[in-house]
Amino acid sequence: MPPPFWGAIDAAHTFCEPKYATSTVVAEFFNALSSFVYMAAGAAMLCRGCHWKVGAGYAMLIVVGVGSVLFHATMRFTMELCDEVPMLLLIIAFLLGKEDCLDCLSGPAGRRRFRVGSAVAVALSTAAYIHFKVYQIFVISFTLMVLFLIATHFFPSARRRWTPALQTCFARAVGGIGAGKLVWEAEQRLCAAHPGVWPLHIAWHVLSCIGGVYATKYNEELRAIVAIEGTKEAGREPRRSPRLVGAHTKRH
Ligand SMILES: [Zn+2]
């Protein structure tokens, strides 16, 4: 039997799809093919035009798609890193989209704290993953970041901006990643006894992509709400300021 096209499989984690069964060049053919959904969705959303901090989320979806194709096509550890490190950066991009909207991510100090903190967190997690080559390091890092991202919806500066549109984006984002996580786990746990479940990983790609798109649309919505608040504030300022200043001066 000839050696695999991309060399011996050395990924820290593999999936259920039979290797090199559909193509002699692509290890997991359908998992690789379905990864194009991230690129298509990211590109389609970017083409609509948006603030660069929102666009970073759509751009990272494209990067994740490229990494996912490379990983599933080769099942080599180096290509696995090209998939999984961008997944961590994707969550950072989702948080970047909330800059100047959430109190803890606002102002020069807040932005600096977030950017330095997230860069250090991703660097440490990646270094530990490469050194120990333990898949759980990536899974735990990614899960914690997703949970933090979800928690930001309940921060006071987000809560006071809850609108039906924002809540819909949140529900669809959490629904997408939540349903995706369920089919991901099902594929992993059922694979040994029922190898035919391998297409469930394709469902993970589609569902997590939907979650990613709505996580970014959430930021678009949040930024629009903050922009409207800023416009109203600026409109009120000239009329209100002299009276307030006067009242303040008289009282004290
Ligand atoms: Zn995948």
The pLDDT of residue 131 = 92
Residue 246: the pLDDT is 41
Buried-state track 49-88, b at ≥16 Cβ within 10 A, e below 16: ebeebbbbbbbbbbbbbbbbbbbbbbbbbebbbbbbbbbb
Q: How far, in Å, from the CA of 124 to the mean position of ligand 1?
A: 23
Ordered by where they begin, the domains of the chain are 29-251 (1.20.1070)
Q: What's the CA-to-centroid distance between 59 and ligand 1, angstroms?
A: 18
Q: What is the pLDDT of residue 75?
A: 95
pLDDT at 245 (0 to 100): 41
Q: Which residues contact 110 (CB under 8 A, 6 or more apart)?
A: 99, 103, 104
Place of tokens 């991901």: 184
Contact between 39 and 205 (Cβ < 8 Å): no
Buried/exposed 178-207: b ≥16 CB within 10 Å, e otherwise? ebbbebbebbeeebeeeeebbebbbbbbbb
pLDDT of residue 252: 38
Q: Report CA(235)–ligand 1 centroid distance (Å).
A: 49
For residues 193 and 190, give the distance between their C-alpha atoms in angstroms, rounded to a whole number: 6
The pLDDT value recorded for residue 1 is 65
Rounded-to-10 torsion of CA 144, 77, 176, 60: 90
User: What pLDDT score does 230 carry?
Assistant: 84
Asked if residue 72 belongs to a known ligand binding site, the reply is yes
Per the listing, tokens 């096509």 go with 73
Write down the pLDDT at residue 147. Answer: 94
Cα 128 to middle of ligand 1, angstroms:
22
**pLDDT of the residue at 62:** 97
205 has binding-site annotation: yes
- Residue 112's pLDDT is 94
CA of 196 to the centre of ligand 1 (A): 17
Q: Please give the model's pTM, rounded to 2 decimal places.
A: 0.88
Q: What pLDDT is stored for residue 237 in this prediction? A: 61
Q: Which helix (H) or strand (E) holds 219?
A: helix 200-251
Condensed to tens digits (0 to 9), the pLDDT of residues 140-195 reads: 999 999 999 999 999 999 999 999 999 999 999 999 999 999 999 999 999 999 99
Q: How far is the CA of 194 from the centre of ligand 1 (A)?
A: 19
Ligand 1 centroid from CA 28, angstroms: 10
pLDDT of residue 8: 87
Gap from CA of 201 to ligand 1 centroid (Å): 6
* Distance from residue 54's CA to the centre of ligand 1 (Å): 24
pLDDT at 249: 39
Q: How far is the CA of 125 from the centre of ligand 1 (A)?
A: 20
Distance 67 CA to ligand 1 centre (A): 9
Cβ atoms of 105 and 95 within 8 Å: the answer is yes
pLDDT along the chain (252 residues), means of 10: 83 91 94 97 93 94 97 94 93 95 92 94 93 91 94 95 96 97 94 94 97 96 92 70 42 39
User: How many angstroms separate the alpha carbon of residue 68 from the centre of ligand 1?
Assistant: 6
Helix axes 107-132, 135-151, angle to 10 degrees: 160
17 in a known ligand binding site = yes
pLDDT value for 206 = 97
DSSP 3-state assignment of 88? Answer: helix
Cα–ligand 1 centroid distance for 81 (angstroms): 12
220-252: b or e for each residue (b if 16 or more CB lie within 10 Å)? bbbbbbbeeeeeeeeeeeeeeeeeeeeeeeeee
Ligand 1 centroid–CA 20 distance in Å is: 16
